[in-house]
Amino acid sequence: MKIVHASITHSPKDDRILFREVLSLKKEYKNITIIGVGNELEINDFKGIRLVSILKGSIFEMVKSIETEIEKESPDILHIHDPFLLPIANKLRKSNVKIIYDVHENHYLTYKLFSNRGKLAKNLIALIIKISEKYYSKKMDSIITVTPDLYEYFRNLNRNTYEIRNYPNENVFFENKNDKLINEIKKFKENDLLMIYVGQISIKRNLALAVLTTKILRERNYKIKFLAIGSGESEEFKFYKNFADNNSDFFKLLPAIPHNEIHNVLNISNLGWSVLPYEDNFLFAFPNKIFEYMSAGIPFISSKLKYVNDIVEDTKAGVIVEELSTDNIVNIVDDFIENKLKFKLYGENGRKYFKSTYNWKSQESILLKVYNSI
């Protein structure tokens, strides 16, 4: 049985694809390849999993390159992670290849939010993506979604739809330890409280609010610093990097690190940041980062997104900020830090609920069920 995972928007080492789904599949299926995008052409091996990187380029160039690599692999099961690969998948399905479409997010809303095209062009392209996705999803052998709202939408299109959430895989937490990186962060942190953000470095994800919140708290004599780790568009990353270089006493920005090194960094952090804006694409999101914060036993700050708010009410592992003004966020974080007993308890609650509920083990069985069903 030959399995291929393919994506033009994720690297072969994407945390959901490699460190959750494929590592779980490797327990029952031995011949697996992940094809994704990177800054150079590469073929690597990770625990017996073949990793193939194609070069970043236009959507049409990447789709063509991915199609060529898929044909080389001749899969029995093709697991795709982008709507742009649906036409290729449908063509292969006619050759008796089983197709799984993995929907990581609402692609229609995501394209509208993050595209740099003019309003008319991006709305038109987003609509084409939505129509195409709806058409081809009905033909797929199985569909996997990550949130309840996506599950409901695709379940109405295809009865073989499942929900598999992005909870962390504890088995990879301490596989790699980068002592140089840990020492660098400890030197930056010193004896201060360290607030951390792990994710995409983007202006549209409210990172400026985190930096300003930290700055004002320091002006109130709190010993607190902010660390952001991730990748992003070159201009936006450069913007934050320049700001970090000019404010190195309290703000540090690092490029993305391997997923199996993240937990070591979280373990020396004290507070997680997940204050996303109230954009349509985020309102029903399950940000991976809040579960990673919970897994490390650190409380988090989040905006009032539907599912995150439900989790906070259930677990008391984080604090919600409803109004996204700097003054409001600073005051809420100020009160939370000041209440040391509550601060400690919320971190402990996060770890407890991660162990019992919000972990990958609870999702692995669903994934294996999807594969066994086809």
* Residues 350, 369 within the same domain: no
8 Å CB contact between 78 and 4: yes
Side-by-side strand order, sheet with 271-274: 251-254, 224-229, 193-198, 271-274, 300-303, 318-321
126 and 210 share one domain: no
Q: How many whole angstroms separate alpha carbon 350 and alpha carbon 315?
A: 7
Tokens of 273: 């940041």
Q: Which residues contact 58 (CB under 8 A, 6 or more apart)?
A: none
Full pLDDT tens readout for the chain, 374 residues: 999 999 999 999 999 999 999 999 999 999 999 999 998 889 999 999 999 999 999 999 999 999 999 999 999 999 999 999 999 999 999 999 999 999 999 888 888 888 888 989 989 999 999 999 999 999 999 999 999 999 999 999 999 999 999 999 999 998 888 999 999 999 999 999 999 999 999 888 889 999 999 999 999 999 999 999 999 888 889 989 998 998 999 999 999 999 999 999 999 999 999 999 998 888 888 899 999 999 999 999 999 999 999 999 999 999 999 999 999 999 999 999 999 999 999 999 999 999 999 999 989 999 999 999 98
Instruction: Identify residue 254 by its one-letter amino acid code.
Output: L
R_g over Cα of the chain: 21
CA 275 to chain centre: 14
What is the reported pLDDT for 234? 83
Distance between CA atoms of 91 and 108, rounded to whole angstroms? 23
Instruction: Give me the count of residues in the chain.
Output: 374
Is the domain of 83 the same as that of 230?
no
Task: Find the helix or strand (DSSP H, E) in which 282 lies.
Answer: helix 280-283
Output the pLDDT for position 281. Answer: 82
Residues 33, 73 within the same domain: yes
Q: Are residues 109 and 126 in the same domain?
A: yes
- Site of tokens 């625990």: 47
State the CB neighbour count (10 A cutoff) for residue 284.
17
The answer on 366 and 340 residing in a single domain is: no
| Predicted local distance difference test score (pLDDT) of residue 326 | 92
Three-state DSSP class for residue 28: coil
Q: What is the CATH classification number for the domain harbouring 298?
A: 3.40.50.2000
Judgement on whether residues 286 and 336 belong to the same structural domain of the protein: yes
| Boundaries of domain holding 328 | 171-356
Q: What mean pLDDT is reported for the chain?
A: 94
Q: Token pair 């070159």 is at which residue?
A: 234
Residues 154 and 186 in one domain: no
| Domain identity same for 218 and 157 | no
Structurally, the chain folds into a number of domains equal to 2
Same domain, 221 and 299: yes
Residues 134 and 47 reside in one and the same domain: yes
Shared domain check, 162 and 58: yes
Residue 210 to residue 189: CA distance in whole angstroms: 16
